[in-house]
Structures are given as structure tokens and as C-alpha cells.
Amino acid sequence: MAFKNFPEHEQAVQLLQRSLERGRLAHAYLLAGHELEELEAVARTLAKALGCSQPVPGRNGVPIDCCDRCVNCLKIEGGNHADVHWVRPESKSRVITVDQMRDLLREVHLKPAEAEYKTAILVAADRLNVQAANAFLKTLEEPPPKSVFILLTTEPQRMLETILSRCLRLNFAGEGPRALTPSETAWLGKFSDMAAVEAKSLLTRYLLLDVLLQELNGMKSATEETLTARSPLQRHEDAEKELMEKWEVELAAAIEAEYRRRRADVLALLQRWLRDVWLHTLGAQPEGGGAVGMAELLNFPMLGGAGQVGRRISPVEAVENLQILEDTQRLLRSNVQEALALEVGLLKLHL
């Protein structure tokens, strides 16, 4: 992909291209957005623009985009360019470790071999552990020449302020929450409709749990398929046994890390629906003219189930629901058993 393939992020892309055109690249960029996969695509494109052998010139003849066809572009796209280095949360604890950062910084301090710049891309940079962040901070304060760091995150609020302050931040999230995918619309709509049925039986609660678990299981399978396809295991089947084993461990950790991130997004979506329930307890109406004029604040006005639930529980119970989801998210960030934490959380909800 080239920068021209991101028309929905025209403003942020233009800022990057102006930096290229003026020869005033920042030594570190923080790309924040809703989806890591999209941020990775942007970071890969910037790396290609820096390393392209046949770049696309701007108005004054200075390169501002990659050709996306030359040998360097193809190498970067395939993840095997000598001057482009990727770091992901790949330890058992799903963090970026100090050893990973030391390996990266050792590479970045070497002179570029094939391109003008060394490019280092940190995926889920909010997962830097304290030691790794401190090691990285020293390099951010005095970056080596001809190096560019690109940090990607969907949760910039979890990053150290000292790192944030040393990066040029570009927002790829757009205005407000991102649009729902068809899969999200389907499962959340099903959950909403099922919750609207006034039934106090355990069966109803476990049916709701099943809707949520089906979405999570499908998402985990898709994550595993996507990351496995990108793994060097698929491209280098004749590699040494020790290296293959290392890649297998890294792949398993990467799948778990990405799944946990996406699971948090799913529960955040459910929390937004519960916020709609709370608004309905206060009198918001999905078609305008609400008792307190809050209809425009609803996240999902098209899902009538939130209104039905909101009419039979109190505002206090609705607020408790939001806290229950927050507590469940916190539990899942520890080593608690996933199905048990979700089961307990859903059984506690006031519906």
C-alpha cells in the first residue's frame, strides 16, 4: 500500500508527507487509532516511503510516497528488509520486554545497509514494560542519526508521559468511536434483542454468555489465522529447528496478546451498550425529543433492546452495570480464567 491508499486519513497522511517534502522528519512518531492492523499498514507505508528506490515525487520533486513496486518496497512489505525492524508483545506476559528493546536498539544504532534510514516500528507500544520503556527513553532523548521510530497504539493513555512527550502524535482514530463492523453489529444486535426479553431465568443469562463467547471464539480464530499467515514460519519452512521453535513461541505469544486486545474492544463495545441502557433510565429516547434531550448521546439508537432494559431497571442499577463491566475488564487483565470471569460478570448484570 501507498499513502494514496489511505483517503480516510488524509489529514494525518498529509502531515507525514509534508515532513518528507521538507526533509524535517521527526525522530519518533506515535500513531494512535482504533485498529492496530490499520496502524501497521500506515507504518509500513512510511517505512517504504523512506526506503523506496523509485519514490513518487511531490510538487517540488522531493519524494513523498513509495512506488509500492520496487525491490525495497516488496522487501518491506514482506517483512524482510535489513533496515526495517518490528517489535511486538511476544513474551509470555504479553509485554514488550527490555531484552527485545535492547536487541532493537542495537540494530538501530548500526548504519543503514540498504536504505537511507533505519526504521523501528513498535506495535502496541503501550505494552512496553517499565524496564523496556526506560531503556527506550534513553534512546528517544538522544536518537541515532538516520533513524525513525514509529510507535503504534490503540491505548495512548496507558503510555508513559515521558515517551509521549518525545513523539510527534498523529491521530488515525477519526472523530468519535469507529463504525461497527458487520460482525460487531450482528452480535451486539443479537445480545441487545436477547437482553430485552424480560426473563429472570439462568438460561437467559447463559444464552447471553453464549452470544458473547461465540463472538470471542470467532475473533480468536480469525486472529490466529491472520498472524499465522504473517509469521516467518510460513515463509521459511527450511529454517533451523532452534529458530523455528523461537518463532513458534513468539507466534503463540503474539496471538494471545492480540486476542486480549481485541477482547477488551469487544467488552468496551458492550460497555457502550450498557451506557445506552443507563441513558434510557434517565429518559433518553432514540428518536429524538427525549425527556432530558439526551437522544443524540446514544451510541446505538438503532438497538431497541437498550431502551427496553432501561425502562425496567433503575439508574443506580444501570451505573452498577457499568462498574461490573469495568471490574470484569480489570480481572481479565490478570491471569483469571476467562470463561469464569465473563460468566460471573454477566450473572451480576441488572437486566
Contact 188, 205 (CB under 8 A): no
147-153 vs 118-122, strand pairing mode: parallel
**pLDDT value of position 177:** 61
Q: Give pLDDT, residue 92.
A: 62
Residue extent(s) of CATH 3.40.50.300 domains in the chain: 3-171
3 state SS of 146: coil
Helix axes 241-281, 315-332, angle to 10 degrees: 170
DSSP β-ladder status, 63-65 and 84-87: unpaired
Alpha-helix residue ranges (DSSP H) falling in the chain: 10-22, 36-51, 71-78, 98-108, 130-141, 161-164, 182-196, 202-230, 241-281, 305-310, 315-332, 338-348
3-state secondary structure 76-102: HHHCCCCCEEEECCCCCCCCECHHHHH
Cell 471490574, residue located: 327
In CATH, the number for domain 3-171 is 3.40.50.300
Residue 213: predicted pLDDT: 94
3-state secondary structure of 307: helix
Q: What's the angle, vertex CA 158, arms to CA 84 and CA 129, rounded to 5?
A: 60
Q: What is the mean pLDDT of each run of 10 residues along the chain (351 residues)?
A: 86 87 88 88 93 85 88 89 89 80 92 90 91 90 92 89 91 70 89 84 88 93 87 78 82 83 89 92 58 67 89 93 92 87 93 88
DSSP annotation of 303 reads -
Contact between residue 148 and residue 177 where contact means Cβ atoms under 8 Å apart: no
**In whole angstroms, what is the distance from residue 141 CA to residue 162 CA?**
10
- Predicted pLDDT of residue 60: 77
**What SS3 class is residue 70?**
coil
Residues 6+ apart with CB under 8 A from 79: 86, 230, 232
- What pLDDT score was predicted for residue 176? 57
Can you give the pLDDT at residue 90?
73
Amino acid occupying residue 291: A
How many Cβ atoms sit within 10 Å of the Cβ of residue 337? 10
- The pLDDT score that the predictor gives to residue 31 is 94
> Which of 123, 104, 70, 91 is CA-nearest to residue 249?
91
Give me the residues paired with residue 86 across strands.
Answer: 121
Residue 197: name the closest of 187, 208, 188 by CA. Answer: 208
